[in-house]
Structure 1
């Protein structure tokens, strides 16, 4: 049985706020490993390798869609019957090589330390398979930062469906009215709008259009700019909109 003091402490944390991050291209620079595993996968079909320049058109909807898009890009659309074996090939290769060349973006860890020290909860909401996301985060020693990590297969719905984000918020013990979403592409900005939470965009990820054109609430170019003051200002602005 929880005490009144414990309940008050939980309420305070919930009220403090939650910052939810996308994974690939937002938290972590995964491009080298994604390209390597994708090329290993499509080599089974004798297709030419894709490049980093292709990546922005391929990622965002998980491994299955990435493989489909890569095959279509190479002029060889594949059937739904062929996909499961290719997804398995990708997952096995990607998992076996974690964390590979993947690393957090500059300033990220310090930013998360700032937020955690101020009482914020943190979470990950990605269309990457949950097992790959949790495995990668664990390999990098970052699991302890997050109150929830959800992937494209965690729920029935995935970004940009609002229910992916709201489900993540619930798992993290947060509150929609006290949440900010950080991402690098249209799925992230769109899911934030659909869930009616403020968004922070970063331009160093895998968007196939300038992320500023997606109309995020704020654009930051380095995680040094992700401050407690910035998050609080967005949450206050969101609360003011609700009040109106």
Structure 2
């Protein structure tokens, strides 16, 4: 095992580790159909993902005819979640190169975590169904710490460090994501963030404020080595 600059690497879920847009689109379209809205092609749903299912639903309603009241939004959100929970890993898969990348980090002694704004129970279920749960020491969701503490706040990333038993000050940790929620949380937590260009980016990827950008998971380990070397100077 060679020396590696990071002892912990955390990953966002949707659009970073996993291409989940097909299953999210199916659940979203199931929900908005109850409001008489037309379905949205899965390719267009990619642009709506980020910040959690309710935010995605709000965006979908806006682009298909306008928003709804708070009570109706909660009802539709419930419909979406029930459908999604029953169909959470029909099409969802690791992005290309993901398995080899996770193997490579594990071989270097890196502790791996998932930190997502998705509800924790849904994130856990996805990794269970895909047979990936054993790769991560923790899976943290947007609701894990209670309301108001999801990304882009740093709280979930601090929880990632706490669960690893690593002091927050001076932690050798990095985060990998695809949206401003991810880069914002990492910046607030004082850790570098690598952005993936193949995700559900809510801005052009090079405008996310990441420490580096990768186009394929084959690039992640060498990029982390480069970013770690710069951080150490």
The counterpart of 2:156, out of the listed 155, 164, 168, is 164
| TM-score where L is the length of structure 2 | 0.90
> Which ranges in structure 1 are unaligned for 5 or more consecutive residues?
1-14
| TM-score where L is the length of structure 1 | 0.86
Q: Structure 1 pair 21/175, CA: closer, same or farther in 2 (3 Å)?
A: farther
Q: Determine the structure 1 residue equivalent to 2:76.
A: 86
Q: Determine the structure 1 residue equivalent to 2:174.
A: 180
Q: Is contact 2:21-2:46 (8 Å) kept?
A: no
Q: Determine the structure 1 residue equivalent to 2:36.
A: 46
SS of 1:226 mapped into structure 2: helix
Q: Is contact 1:125-1:151 (8 Å) kept?
A: yes
* Alpha-carbon separation, structure 1, partners of 2:91 and 2:207: 30
Q: Summarize deviations over 1:43-94 as a string: whole Å, max 9, x none.
A: 0000011223432442211111111221122223111112222222111111
Q: Determine the structure 2 residue equivalent to 1:235.
A: 228
The counterpart of 2:204, out of the listed 196, 204, 210, is 210
Q: Aligned Cα RMSD in Å? A: 1.7
For 1:117-128, what aligned pairs fall within 5 Å after superposition? 117-128=107-118
Aligned structure 1 segments of 4 or more residues deviating by more than 4 angstroms: none
SS of 2:48 mapped into structure 1: coil
For 1:128-207, what aligned pairs fall within 5 Å after superposition? 128-156=118-146, 157-176=149-168, 177-207=171-201
SS of 1:124 mapped into structure 2: strand
Structure 1 window deviating more from structure 2 (44-53 vs 98-107): it is 44-53
Q: Determine the structure 1 residue equivalent to 2:217.
A: 223
Which is helix-richer, 1 or 2? 1
> Which ranges in structure 2 are unaligned for 5 or more consecutive residues?
none
